[in-house]
Structure 1
Amino acid sequence: MITASLRSLYSRDLNKLKTEIESYQNEGSIWKTDQNIANSAGNLCLHLVGNLNHFVGTVLGNTGYVRKRDLEFSLKDIPRAELIEKVQATAITVDTVLSRLSEDDLKKEYPLVVFESTMTTDYFLIHLIAHLDYHLGQINYHRRLLDI
């Protein structure tokens, strides 16, 4: 039952990420920073895509995705259309991987130690959705503050 809930939440929030990126009136504003805003919406988007493709796609789904975390924050001026394609592809990957996980799989230990100790897969997937939503909120504020 939790698998269906996770799939629904990831789908909802990745679609919201796509909508936020589409909602910028000025495409260049996606990459703006300000004295108190260190990360652009574009870099946060790349970070979310990299994070989910690594921790869900590669670790749980064996997709072969290779994360380049430093580029998530250093790349600039990627076209909006490319960002949207990355988000859509990530949504498909996440949904495909989650659809293959049984309730028993979710109760197993997550294959990597990400924090200081081990955790169950369902716990980490809940953490990842919280991480997605945290940055999604930042992107929403970024757009409303800097899309001028």
Structure 2
Amino acid sequence: MTLDRAFLDQSLTLLRGEWLPKIEAAAEALGEDDLWWRPNERTNSAGTLCVHLAGNLRQWIVAGLGGAPDVRDRPSEFATTGGRDAADVLADLRAAVEEACAVIDGLDETALLRTYAIQGREPTGLRAVYHAVEHFAMHAGQIVWIAKARDGAVRFYEDDPEGRARLLWTATPHGPIAP
């Protein structure tokens, strides 16, 4: 396997197989009412963050690297504070992840080294993928924190008899599988 392919495969695994399932589990634990809860006016709800993540993936990967039209309206993502149910928000996020994964899966070394015009910047394809994955992970962590703060039932690890953290599922490029 080449280094570029390893990077791309790991990016697919993190987006589709690790972070998206954690967001879905967190949203399921939150329920409809808490999806839009936020501790104060300066913070975002889990629902708002899901809308924002879909917009970011589409701008940076689907449009930026894949060549689709950039139709992102970033301010409206953060203005979304309700009015959509969890199923709709998660379906759109899943669709954005799949669109982005299709683009990522089709990249190669040349595409990763090329520069692109994205959001007023000129990142390489490598930087754009890296940005999208790290950005997704950061906000996924915030969504999981919200779910744990509101519900407390979200769990991804358990301690084994030796006190080591054991995953309750395994990340794959195609989604989580039970251990």
Q: TM-score range by the shorter chain?
A: 0.7 to 0.9
Structure 1 Cα separation of the partners of residues 114 and 59 of structure 2: 18
Q: Is 1:9 matched up with 2:14?
A: yes
CA contact (8 A) 2:57 2:100 kept: yes
Over the matched positions of the two proteins, sequence identity in percent amounts to 27
Match of 2:91 among 85, 88, 91: 85
AA in 1 matched with 2:25: T
Structure 2 Cα separation of the partners of residues 18 and 110 of structure 1: 31
CA RMSD in angstroms comes to 2.1
Between structure 1 and structure 2, the one with the greater Rg is 2
Q: Please state how far the C-alpha of 1:59 moved relative to its aligned partner.
A: 1.6
CA contact (8 A) 1:106 1:122 kept: yes
Q: Is 1:48 matched up with 2:92?
A: no
Structure 1 runs of 4+ aligned residues shifted over 6 Å read none
Structure 2 Cα separation of the partners of residues 113 and 50 of structure 1: 12
Q: How many residues align?
A: 145
AA in 1 matched with 2:124: T
**3-state SS of paired residue (2:65):** helix
For residues 1-148 of structure 1, the aligned pairs below 5 Å read 1=5, 2-12=7-17, 13-24=19-30, 26-35=31-40, 38-64=43-69, 66-75=71-80, 76-112=82-118, 114=120, 118-147=122-151
CA contact (8 A) 1:3 1:103 kept: no
More helix by share: 1
Give the unaligned 5+ runs of structure 2: 153-179
AA in 2 matched with 1:131: H
Deviations 1:25-81 (A, max 9, x none): x31101011238611110011110110011111121123351111111112231011
Q: Please state how far the C-alpha of 1:126 moved relative to its aligned partner.
A: 0.9
* Equivalent position of 2:158 in the other structure: none
AA in 1 matched with 2:39: D
TM-score normalized by the length of structure 1: 0.86
